[in-house]
């Protein structure tokens, strides 16, 4: 009996030991699993840090390319553009990085694009709803366009929010606009900015430093002194005087006498405002000339003097209602004798006696007189007494106030040296050397034929256009068409989008850094930055 009891006790102890071993093994297994998880977590954290610095290395490499680049002209022939191939899967210790550099001036700026340009960005899927909603999003009012949306729409969504009513801060802000979807913006099965959808074609960062090719300050033709225009730009006195008498210019083409605005001209409105002035005598857009004198066109008596249509040889809004001779070619203009315009002189018979003169009271009495009795009218207002005018240029055929718009050759020569603003940066321009045909077609408001011809011309020039005025050589390009877009084009860029992606060799962790950088601002101004794990 005692032996049987000992056997039972021994068996019980053995079972207990076995269960204890099982329990210990379970504890060890759980501990090992937790240890592996901790190890993997720790490794992932370490690799995340490693990849982040790899991505930063890629970003700094891209910045080095941009800073070393010559800034007289930016094109797809520059090292920063060519290096996009060399910067793919660059091998580093325990990982690789890939970098893409994109010129933001090769895209359509959401803050300056017109509805027509947006509609032509993608003629198949872009709708008037999205285009007008983009304009409503960025304007500063609550006036809803026909197909647009303002706060009333956005606040009534399931998760409401306010409309920006200001400039877009990032391109991704587009996803908050009425009608926009991720598939349209990024492209299907893609969530990376710039690699699909409309995100390849739009920006809100494009900007160019307001300097010439050498990096020197441009001459602001809207504020420069006449003497500076002559000395710094080597203009003739009549050309410089034309600029000072016709500014401010809202479009650079005004320097050559081309008017871009479709609204009624200043001359027409001035003529209307002066129609009620005391008259009997010849009239013009600046006012009327009364009595025995003739007007600047050399006519006198009753009736009206019609203004000829604007051309390159007739000043736009000139201060003197003079009539310049017409030339069929620039060569004829340059060869012509720079003498008194027709009717601007003629001795005692010109602008004589009491009466009203257009724009500043431009009348005088006697030979070469600048002052005379009578009334002077300035843009619809009356100034009476002696010396009504200060710009009279007559007497014995001597021209003292001759003006002349720039000819195309002079305009082309100084184009890169002039500006209409003192702003340090000019936003929203398109770089003709880096833009693709899709964006260029949209910029030209759907003129795909002209867009293709411009790209072909660029290729024929070795891929680089140094002077925008050379676009006049593009087949089908006219001065009027080129003048319409000149202010919105450039050949240099300041802001670039850099996207650096790094991947770990050991565990496959991916990390990206995306940033828009203005290389022409001190300290390489960061306009935007996004980073994190993923693509």
Burial of 216 (0-12, 13-18, 19+ CB in 10 A): exposed
User: Looking at the DSSP assignment, which residues form a beta bridge with residue 383?
Assistant: 376
Burial of 433 (0-12, 13-18, 19+ CB in 10 A): buried
Cα→Cα distances 391→150, 236, 362, Å: 52, 19, 6
pLDDT one digit per residue (tens) for the chain, 535 residues: 566 666 667 778 888 888 888 888 888 888 777 777 666 666 678 888 989 999 999 999 999 999 999 889 999 999 999 987 889 999 988 899 999 999 999 999 999 999 999 999 998 999 999 999 999 999 999 999 999 999 999 999 999 999 999 999 999 999 999 999 999 999 998 889 988 999 999 999 999 999 999 999 999 999 999 999 999 999 999 999 999 999 999 999 999 988 875 433 333 333 333 333 333 333 333 333 333 333 333 333 333 333 333 333 333 333 333 334 444 554 444 444 443 344 333 333 333 333 343 333 334 333 433 344 344 444 333 333 344 443 433 433 344 469 999 999 999 999 999 999 999 999 999 999 999 999 999 999 999 999 999 999 999 999 999 999 999 999 999 999 999 999 999 999 999 999 999 999 888 889 999 999 999 987 788 999 999 998 7
Handedness of CA 298, 318, 218, 72 (dihedral sign): negative
Q: Residue 10 has what pLDDT?
A: 75
- With a CB cutoff of 8 Å and minimum separation 6, the contacts of 160 are 154
Write b or e for each residue in 121-159: b if 16 or more Cβ atoms lie within 10 A of its Cβ, otherwise e.
Answer: bbeeebeebbbbbbbbbbbeeeeebebbbbeeebeeeee
Phi/psi of residue 43, nearest 5 degrees: -65, -40
SS3 516: strand
pTM higher than 0.75 for the full model?
no
The DSSP code for 486 is: G
Question: What is the spatial distance between Cα 229 and Cα 221, in angstroms, rounded to a whole number?
Answer: 8
Residue 512 CA from chain centroid, whole number: 29
Q: Residue 524 has what pLDDT?
A: 81
Beta strands 418-419 and 219-220 are parallel
Estimate the crossing angle of helix 2-68 against helix 79-86, to 10 degrees: 150
Q: Residue 39 has what pLDDT?
A: 66
DSSP conformation letters of 271-309? HHHTTTS--SS-EETTEE--TT-B-TTS--SSSB-PPPP
Beta strands 287-288 and 381-384 are unpaired
SS3 199: helix
Contact 197, 168 (CB under 8 A): no
Question: What is the spatial distance between Cα 535 and Cα 533, in angstroms, rounded to a whole number?
Answer: 7
Q: Give the CA dihedral 121, 127, 133, 138, nearest 10 degrees.
A: 10
Whether cis (ω within 30° of 0) applies to the bond prior to 5 is no
Question: What is the spatial distance between Cα 360 and Cα 274, in angstroms, rounded to a whole number?
Answer: 13
Q: Residue 93 has what pLDDT?
A: 82
Question: What is the spatial distance between Cα 257 and Cα 309, in angstroms, rounded to a whole number?
Answer: 11
Q: Residue 535 has what pLDDT?
A: 78
Burial of 462 (0-12, 13-18, 19+ CB in 10 A): exposed
Closest Cα partner for 70 from 491, 436, 412, 517?
Answer: 491
SS3 99: strand
Q: What residue ranges define each of the domains in the chain, with the CATH number in brackets?
A: 55-110+201-210+423-535 (no CATH), 122-190 (1.10.40.60), 258-404 (no CATH)
Cα→Cα distances 172→158, 185, 186, 192, 406, Å: 20, 8, 9, 11, 44
């Amino acid at each position: 009996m005692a032996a049987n009891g000992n056997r039972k006790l021994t068996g019980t102890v053995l079972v207990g030991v076995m269960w204890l071993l099982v329990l210990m093994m379970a504890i060890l297994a759980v501990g090992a699993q937790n240890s592996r998880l901790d190890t993997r977590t720790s490794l992932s954290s370490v690799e995340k840090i490693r990849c982040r610095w790899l991505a930063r290395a890629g970003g700094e490499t891209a910045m080095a390319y941009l800073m070393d680049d010559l800034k007289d002209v930016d094109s797809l022939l520059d090292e920063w553009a060519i290096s996009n191939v060399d910067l793919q899967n660059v091998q580093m210790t325990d990982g690789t990085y890939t970098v893409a550099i994109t010129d933001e001036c090769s895209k359509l700026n959401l803050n300056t694009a017109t509805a027509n340009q947006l509609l032509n960005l993608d003629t198949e899927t872009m709708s008037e709803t999205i285009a007008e909603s983009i304009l409503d999003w960025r304007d500063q009012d609550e006036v809803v366009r026909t197909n647009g949306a303002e706060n009333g729409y956005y606040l009534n969504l399931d998760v409401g929010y306010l409309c920006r009513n200001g400039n877009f801060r990032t391109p991704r802000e587009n996803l908050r606009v009425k009608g926009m979807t991720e598939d349209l913006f990024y492209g299907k099965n893609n969530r990376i900015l710039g690699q699909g959808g409309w995100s390849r074609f739009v920006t809100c960062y494009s900007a160019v430093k307001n300097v010439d090719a050498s990096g020197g300050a441009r001459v602001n033709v809207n504020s420069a002194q006449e003497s500076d225009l002559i000395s710094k730009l080597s203009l003739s006195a009549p050309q410089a005087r034309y600029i000072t008498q016709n500014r401010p210019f809202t479009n650079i083409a005004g320097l050559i006498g081309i008017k871009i605005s479709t609204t009624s001209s200043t001359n027409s409105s001035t003529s209307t405002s002066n129609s009620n002035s005391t008259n009997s005598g010849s009239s013009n857009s600046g006012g009327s000339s009364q009595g025995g004198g003739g007007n600047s066109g050399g006519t006198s008596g009753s009736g009206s003097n019609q203004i000829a249509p604007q051309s390159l040889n007739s000043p736009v809004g000139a201060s003197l209602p003079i009539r310049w001779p017409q030339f069929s070619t620039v060569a004829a203009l340059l060869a012509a004798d720079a003498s008194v315009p027709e009717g601007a002189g003629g001795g005692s018979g010109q602008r004589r006696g009491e009466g009203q003169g257009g724009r500043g009271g431009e009348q005088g009495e006697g030979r070469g007189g600048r002052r005379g009795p009578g009334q002077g009218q300035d843009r619809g207002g009356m100034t009476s007494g002696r010396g009504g005018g200060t710009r009279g240029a007559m007497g014995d055929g001597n021209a003292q106030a001759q003006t002349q718009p720039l000819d195309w050759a002079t305009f082309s020569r100084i184009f890169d040296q002039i500006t209409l603003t003192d702003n340090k940066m000019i936003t929203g321009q398109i770089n003709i050397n880096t833009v693709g045909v899709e964006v260029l077609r949209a910029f030209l408001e759907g003129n795909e034929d002209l867009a293709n011809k411009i790209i072909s011309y660029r290729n024929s020039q070795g891929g680089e256009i140094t002077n925008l005025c050379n676009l006049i050589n593009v087949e089908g390009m006219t001065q009027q068409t080129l003048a319409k877009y000149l202010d919105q084009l450039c050949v240099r860029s300041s802001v670039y989008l850099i996207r650096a992606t790094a991947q770990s060799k050991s565990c496959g962790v991916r990390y990206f850094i995306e940033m828009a950088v203005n290389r022409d601002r001190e300290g390489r101004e960061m306009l935007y930055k996004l980073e994190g794990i993923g693509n």
